Amino acid sequence: MAPRKNFRNQAKKEVKPAAVVNKNGVKAEATVAASGGGFSGTKIFTWFMVLALLGVWSSVAVVWFDLVDYDNVIGKLSAYDADGDGDFDVEDAKVLLGLKERPVSVLLREAKEESAVKEPDAVPPPDDDVDGSQNTDVESEIQAAVPLPPISDDFIPDDSRDEATHPYEDENNAIDTKGELVEKAQPQQTVEESKQYNDQPGSLETKETVQLRYNAEAESVPEPEADVEPEVESVPELKENAEDQPKDKLQEKPKKKKPKLLNKFEKTIKMEIDAAEKLRKKGKVEEAVRAFETLVLQYPQSPRCRYGKALAEDGLAEKMLSNDMLQKAIGTYKEASELPNATPDLIKATLKKRAERQQFLGRMRGALATLEKLVQIFPEDVALKNDLGVAHLLIGDNKGAKRIYEEVLATAPSDGFAKVHYGFILKSENKIAESIPFLRDGLESGHPGTDDGRFYFHLGDALQRMGDDSAYKWYERGHLRGHFASVWQRSLYNVDGLKAQPWWTPKDTGYMDLVKTLERNWRIIRDEAQSVMDKTTGLFVPEEENLREKGEWGQFTLWQQGKKAGEACRSVPKTCGLLERYPEATGCKRGQIKFSVMQPGTHVWPHTGPTNCRLRMHLGLVIPKTGCKIRCTNDTRAWEEGKVLIFDDSFEHEVWQDADSYRLIFIVDVWHPELTQYQRQTLSSI
């Protein structure tokens, strides 16, 4: 028992210092006392002081001996500082969970840090010797235009157009990089009207009726590069003498100058502008708009900041499919161009973009005014004058366009773009021979904007009318360039993959019931047609497409572009009643239903229709026994009374009427049978 007593007594008597080692290895002495089951007041105070000293010495040790890498810890935590206030709190969590947007300051900071990593010396010295090459590519970028929509008859070429019809609300509109129709496996709303000069691109328009529906997308805003010669697609002389050329000469390419978009002050805030631009380039258009709005508030007199804001709003309009936002961008482009200290390159880029977007919205007269201002500011810029000529054509002002192109050719006689357009205008005035050298030289120039199916088409057509067989050489060239399906099939507004043959049988089409109805009732149709003919002249309304070499040819239309001509149908109610139950005909938005009368001595030039999306039925009503015939490709046929002929008018065809009396037929266009129902609903009208 003694040992236990001694041990307990010893514990009571002896107070040994207990070694306390903190987490950093620093020892401190603590006095442990045991008395009657608790601590005295003095002992509690002693423990309090010991613990306090432990905390102080721990902190000193951590800092003094650098035991914790504060910078590393804080750097890791900053990844969660989503709202930029320097710590991680509830607000940061909201941002990370998507319940709150990140502040513009944070977005700009991150973009600037990323730019700084890639471009440590991004800020150029603010002197006059700094050229645009020191700008980043986002500053020199003048974006390619958003695909243009159909410029249909629904567009009103001024600022009063109803925006509800704007194709931003239609996701089926599409156009490729050449301005050609995109009607591939996935049927899409086509853009013929934005690309065609009139509703019948296979015809030559009269001066009074022509209205060019020009594809401004094909003439999209180029990068504002000064004094750069246009690249010719091929240089035969260089190829033929390639072995004689020094290697360094063969590899040389003209250096393109980047536009100078920054003024002296803006070069000092280039990092901030680049940070906002980086958001736009990455497709973060909402954040880019907010970033540029912040910059505009900070630097209200900065043209570059405002131009960036306009580009961001433009991108947001495309993403939102919003006319209102696009109109806002158009206004911001104007503001940027009018600020003091805007560089000439920025003024040019901004106003060109503004004109392009005005055209996109169908505000053709507004675009014309913008381009006129551009030409006033830069009177020596031939490309701007060419664009102004197109703007005149878009509102049907051929005379104004002709004057512009005459001015261009007076100062730049080799300009291919001006030549093809001037040649087209001459042809629209029926100056066939005069148009040929301009169209031919313009196409041979290879200049940008000349490689267009319409110019190949009209040059070949002009040569044919002059009896020149070289027309087919140009048709072949157009085919090889991808503008025509073949030398014979030269329609410009097509759906790929449709069966292509010049002549069809009723069984081929699948429209047997319609054909039988027409043939069974041909006399009723004939009698009604004769009742609306002019008794004196034996004509309907004269044909106005200028397809005749000679003679008289009149038409009486019942349906046009899938729309019924009510007044005309009231004159021939039985005929229209027969057709009402055939939507393949009455709903064909790319065709017509009409009577056609041709007087003796008439010859119709070889021509093609505008699209491969329809077939054309001819029902013979009054057919002379001899002298009337139609050729499609190299196959010539004749009409019969009460019988239907069916052909694809996208192939070249020609008509002769050499009989002693008039020829009367009923024309019914129908959808190509291989078009799907969806395509029939979404294809735009011609």
52 Cβ contact partners less than 8 Å away, ≥ 6 residues apart: none
Identity at 509, one-letter amino acid code: T
- Overall average pLDDT of the 320-349 stretch: 96
pLDDT attached to residue 617? 98
Q: Nearest 10 degrees: CA dihedral of 98, 305, 301, 256? A: 180
d(CA 2, CA 646): 130
- Overall average pLDDT of the 139-144 stretch: 32
d(CA 618, CA 323): 44
pLDDT attached to residue 464? 95
d(CA 20, CA 30): 7
**pLDDT at 157 exceeding the cut of 50:** no
Per-residue pLDDT of 350-393, as tens digits, reads 999 999 999 999 999 999 999 999 999 999 999 999 999 999 99
- Select the more confidently predicted residue: 192 or 592: 592
The pairing of strands 628-632 and 563-564 is: unpaired
**pLDDT at 172 exceeding the cut of 50:** no
Coil, strand or helix: which one is 640? coil
Cβ atoms of 680 and 183 closer than 8 Å: no
Long-range contacts at 497-502 (CB < 8 A, ≥ 24 apart): 497/185, 497/674, 498/612, 498/613, 498/672, 498/674, 498/675, 499/672, 499/674, 500/612, 500/648, 500/650, 500/651, 501/648, 502/632, 502/633, 502/635, 502/647, 502/648, 502/651, 502/653
pLDDT attached to residue 663? 95
Percent of the chain with pLDDT over 90: 59
Q: Could you say which of 3.40.50.720, 1.25.40.10, 1.10.3720.10, 2.60.120.10 is the CATH number of the domain covering 259-378? A: 1.25.40.10
pLDDT attached to residue 257? 81
- Overall average pLDDT of the 310-330 stretch: 96
Coil, strand or helix: which one is 524? helix
pLDDT attached to residue 534? 80
* CATH class held by domain 503-682: mainly beta
- Of 317-321, 415-419, 421-425, 539-543, the poorest mean pLDDT is in 539-543
Give the range with max mean pLDDT: 55-69, 244-258, 296-310.
296-310
**pLDDT at 677 exceeding the cut of 70:** yes
Give the range with max mean pLDDT: 3-12, 176-185, 530-539, 563-572.
563-572
pLDDT attached to residue 201? 37
> Read out DSSP for 446-460?
T-TT---HHHHHHHH
- Select the more confidently predicted residue: 43 or 431: 431
Place of tokens 């100062």: 411
> Read out DSSP for 562-621?
TEE-HHHHHHSHHHHHHHTT-HHHHT-TT-EEEEEEE-TTEEEEEE--SBSSEEEEEEEE
Cβ atoms of 586 and 562 closer than 8 Å: yes
Quick check: pTM over 0.75?
no
Per-residue pLDDT of 578-590, as tens digits, reads 999 999 999 999 9
- Overall average pLDDT of the 3-21 stretch: 41
**pLDDT at 203 exceeding the cut of 60:** no
- Select the more confidently predicted residue: 384 or 35: 384
- Of 49-58, 290-299, 391-400, the poorest mean pLDDT is in 49-58
pLDDT attached to residue 219? 37
Using the CB atoms, write b or e for 433-466: b if 16+ within 10 Å: eebbebbbbbbebebbbbbbbbbbbbbbbbbbbe
pLDDT attached to residue 364? 96
Cβ atoms of 615 and 603 closer than 8 Å: no
Domain ranges of the chain: 259-378, 503-682
pLDDT attached to residue 321? 94
**pLDDT at 271 exceeding the cut of 50:** yes
**pLDDT at 450 exceeding the cut of 80:** yes
Q: Is the dihedral of CA 512, 517, 520, 523 positive or negative?
A: negative
- Select the more confidently predicted residue: 413 or 159: 413
Place of tokens 């239309």: 557
Give the range with max mean pLDDT: 192-206, 432-446, 529-543.
432-446
Record the tokens describing residue 35, joined without a space: 């008395």
* Residue 476: its H or E element: helix 471-480
Residue 548: φ, ψ to 5°: -90, 135
Query: Please, which pLDDT band fits residue 109 given cuts at 50, 70 and 90?
Result: low
Domains 259-378 and 503-682 alike in fold: no
Using the CB atoms, write b or e for 245-273: b if 16+ within 10 Å: eeeeeeeeeeeebbbbbbbeebbebbbbb
Record the tokens describing residue 34, joined without a space: 């045991």
First vs last C-alpha separation in the chain: 119
pLDDT attached to residue 104? 63
- Select the more confidently predicted residue: 238 or 555: 555
**pLDDT at 569 exceeding the cut of 80:** yes
**pLDDT at 487 exceeding the cut of 90:** yes
pLDDT attached to residue 164? 32
d(CA 249, CA 246): 5
**pLDDT at 186 exceeding the cut of 90:** no
Identity at 10, one-letter amino acid code: Q
Query: Please, which pLDDT band fits residue 445 given cuts at 50, 70 and 90?
Result: very high
**pLDDT at 435 exceeding the cut of 80:** yes
pLDDT attached to residue 234? 37
* Residue 264: its H or E element: helix 264-268
- Overall average pLDDT of the 434-458 stretch: 97
* Residue 280: its H or E element: helix 270-281
